[in-house]
Amino acid sequence: MKINVTRSSMPPYKEYCEEIKNLWDSRWLTNSGSKHMELEKQLCKYLKTDNVSLFLNGHTALELALNALNLEGEVITTPYTFISTTQAVVRNNLTPVFCDIREDDYTIDADKIESLITEKTCAILPVHVYGSVCDYKKIDEIAKKYNLKVIYDAAHAFGIEIDGKGIGTLGDISMFSFHATKVFHTVEGGGLTYSDNNLTPILKKLRQYGMRGQEEVTLVGTNAKMTEMHAAMGLCNLKHIDEEISKRKKAFDRYIERLNDVQGLKLFKIGKDVKHNYSYFPVVFDGYKYSRDEVADILVRNDIFARKYFYPLTSEFEVFQNRFEIQSTPIAKSVSEKVLTLPLYADLSVEEVDKICDLILG
Ligand SMILES: *Cc1c(COP(=O)(O)O)cnc(C)c1O
């Protein structure tokens, strides 16, 4: 049996069928239907945030978040992320400025942000990578001091709380991905959370061709709506999310139990005052008897597909070379060459975790 790095959660088949049944009567399949509205409402509650706007995927949500804030110039961000983060910046005709990360939790090093600020800087785009909560207090301080917007890529951070606050309440806007491989999903989907109510009508227009009502177009928009079928999947998955997260925790805890205190392995640490979601299990192989690539090969030979998240850095992709200045980020570079993200999903059994650990410890 193959073990992949992740495996999509599915609600009971009957529950989904039940949820979508009335669509055959209503024939209202998209454009802010009742399931869409209900999911927004339930997500506000679950994520403990004032507003949630839904989109057809997380990436487009992030592009439109930057768009909605009317940004121009440079955005300070991290190269230690999925390519989507950097693409969202570039596709808004903004220039990414890459800041290094912290060695302990892999998030943007807030102490290095200020030295990258120029008169063109308009925003900071940090990533709560693997669900590590960014140094939001320091980021907030800097943003206030220089009048910058803060948009969090919270794609990995569904359901995380810090000091009892929903993680989506940080910064101006946070983006959550509801892609099939994420902790909570709508097959494809994404959401933005924010406290400024004025953003709601702008985001609504942006995801609906810039239209206001049926006869007015006031913004240059696109089509980025979530359908009722996808919202229905979200409603079903949301019913089981706490159970899913606690199943993930079992596998996560077993990894810790087996790999803790092994010389040359650096494990993920959950920050204090954080309610975590057990989304990923990254291990940094630094001075271990096998290199990261050797461990990946051993696992592949046993039909286990861990992933080199995040390698290479987004700043290293060919498409960005010679387009703008690429800052050097030595810590991010070093981590990206040593990290392997091990399989982790709700159905991953303790026996499977043991098999993976036996191979790594071999
Ligand atoms: C998954 C992901 C995205 C993109 O989300 P989609 O819903 O797949 O478009 C963006 N950023 C990060 C860090 C991600 O992991």
Q: What single letter denotes the amino acid at residue 144? A: K
Q: What is the pLDDT of residue 1?
A: 85
Helix (H, G, I), strand (E, B) or coil at 297: helix
Superfamily the domain 241-361 falls into: Aspartate Aminotransferase, domain 1 (3.90.1150.10)
Q: What is the pLDDT of residue 102?
A: 98
Q: What radius of gyration, in Å, describes the C-alpha atoms of the chain? A: 21
Backbone angles phi, psi at 116, to 5 degrees: -95, -5
Does residue 107 line the site of ligand 1, with CB under 6 A?
no
Q: What is the pLDDT of residue 195?
A: 97
pTM: 0.98
Q: In the CATH scheme, what is the code of domain 13-239?
A: 3.40.640.10
186-223 burial: b if 16+ Cβ within 10 Å, else e? bbbbbbbbbeeeebbebbbbbbbeebeeeeeeebebbe
Testing ligand 1's pocket by substitution, the residue of 125, 129, 153, 277 carrying the most ligand atoms inside 8 A of its CB is 153
Q: What is the pLDDT of residue 71?
A: 98
First to last CA, the chain: 20
Residues of the chain with CATH 3.90.1150.10: 241-361
Count of CB atoms situated within 10 Å of the CB of 147? 8
Q: Would you state the structure tokens that stand for residue 198, as one six-digit string?
A: 């004025």
Q: What is the pLDDT of residue 147?
A: 98
Q: What single letter denotes the amino acid at residue 77? A: T
Does residue 87 line the site of ligand 1, with CB under 6 A?
no
- Alpha carbon 209 to its chain centroid, in Å, reads 25
Plot region of 164 (φ>0 → left; ψ -120 to 50 → alpha; else → beta): left
- CA–CA gap between residue 224 and residue 103 (Å, rounded): 36
Q: What is the mean pLDDT of each run of 10 residues along the chain (362 residues)?
A: 95 98 97 97 98 98 98 98 98 98 98 98 98 98 98 98 97 98 98 98 97 94 98 98 98 98 97 96 98 98 97 98 96 98 97 98 95
Q: What is the pLDDT of residue 40?
A: 98
Residues of the chain with CATH 3.40.640.10: 13-239
Q: What single letter denotes the amino acid at residue 39? A: L
Does residue 155 line the site of ligand 1, with CB under 6 A?
yes
Helix (H) or strand (E) holding 193: strand 190-194
Q: What is the pLDDT of residue 41?
A: 98
DSSP 6-22: -------HHHHHHHHTT
DSSP 43-96: HHHHHT-SEEEEES-HHHHHHHHHHHTT--SEEEE-SSS-HHHHHHHHHTT-EE
Does residue 36 line the site of ligand 1, with CB under 6 A?
no
